[in-house]
Amino acid sequence: MVGRWNPHCLRQTGCYSEMRCSSSCRYVQNDRFEEAYDTLLEIRDDPDLIAQEMQDIRQAIAFEKKQTNSTWTRYKLLWTDKSVRRRILLAAAINIGQQLTGNNSLATYSTIIYKKVFTSNSQIQLINALAGTFNILFTLNATWMTDFLGRRPILLIGVAGMAVCMFAAAAVVTETPTLEDGSKSSSVGIATVFLMFLFALFFKPSWGATVWIWTSEIFSMNIRAQAVAMTTQCQSIASIILRKYPYSLCPT
C-alpha cells in the first residue's frame, strides 16, 4: 500500500536490534549462572542486589519445577487452576481489546483515510512516513510511563484519549465542507493529521506497549510461555477479523 514501509527494512532493523539486545537472565534455568550474572550486571550497579536477585530467581525456578514438569501438565493447569484461568481470560480480553482500539486498521487503511482529505499522493506518503517515525518515538515513552503511572492507569488514560481523538477526527472529516476537487481545506487536513498523530501518542505507550508488558508479567514462570502464546495469539485472530471487515470504510 502507498506510504507503507518496505518490510525488508523492518526485518533488517529487527535483526540488528536483536543482536544488540542483552541476553536473557533465563540462563539460570539452564544452570548457566555466570552468564546470567553477567546479564544482570549490564542492567544493575549493585553486586549485592544482583546476588539477591540471582538467589530469588533460583528459588523461584526450583519451586516451579517441583510444581509442574511436563508440557501437558502446564497446558492443563491453564484451565484447571481457577486463578490461572481467570488470568488467561483477562489477558485474552486485553489483547483483543488492543486490536479493537483500531490502531492496526488505521495503519493499514491510512492511505484511504487521508485520500478523503488530501489529493496529493506525495503528501500522503510523507504523512505516512512521518507517522511511522513518530510511532517509534511514542512507543519509547512506555519505558518510563509504565512504572511511573502504573499499568492500569496508563491503560485507562490511553483508551480515554484515543476515544476523544477518534470522535473528534470523525467529526472533523464528516462535518466539514468538501471542496470541488473532492478534498478538504488545508485547516481540516491539518486538524485530521494532528488528531491521528495524537491518537498514536495515546495508543503506543498504553495499549500498544503496556499490553505486552502486562501480559508477560501476570503469569508464573512455569506456565508463562504457554499462557503468553495463547493470549497474544488472540491479537492475530482479532486483527484478521477487523481488517477483513472494515465496515466504516465500506461505500454506502
CA distance 45 to 173: 52
Number of Cβ atoms within 10 Å of the Cβ of 145? 19
* The residue count for the chain: 252
Give me the amino acid identity at 48: D
CA distance 227 to 91: 9
Query: Average of pLDDT values for 18-35?
Result: 58
C-alpha cell recorded at residue 199: 491518537
**Virtual CA dihedral for 94, 95, 101, 102, nearest 10 degrees?**
-170
Exposed / middle / buried, residue 52 (Cβ in 10 Å: 0-12, 13-18, 19+): exposed
Report the range out of 34-38, 116-120, 166-170 with the highest average pLDDT: 166-170
Q: Which CATH code is given to the segment(s) 71-247?
A: 1.20.1250.20
Task: List, in order, residues 6 or more apart from 235 with CB less than 8 Å away.
Answer: 95, 96, 98, 99
C-alpha cell recorded at residue 207: 495499549
pLDDT at position 250: 53
Q: What is the pLDDT of residues 150-193, one digit of tens each?
A: 899 999 999 999 999 989 988 888 888 877 776 678 888 888 88
DSSP H/E element including 219: none
CA atoms within 13 A on the CB side of 11: 3
* Nearest partner of 202 among 98, 90, 94, judged by Cα: 98
226 confidence band (pLDDT: 50, 70, 90): confident
Q: What is the pTM of this model?
A: 0.67
C-alpha cell recorded at residue 190: 491539518
pLDDT at position 2: 42
Q: What is the pLDDT of residues 52-62, one digit of tens each?
A: 887 887 787 77
pLDDT at position 3: 45
Q: In the chain, what are the domain boundaries?
A: 20-67, 71-247
Asked if 16 and 125 count as a contact pair (C-beta separation under 8 A), the reply is no
Asked if 138 and 204 count as a contact pair (C-beta separation under 8 A), the reply is yes
- Cα maximum dimension of the chain: 73
Q: Mean pLDDT over all residues of the chain? A: 80
The one-character DSSP state at 102 is -
Query: Average of pLDDT values for 136-147?
Result: 88
The one-character DSSP state at 204 is I
Give me the amino acid identity at 183: S
Query: Average of pLDDT values for 77-95?
Result: 89
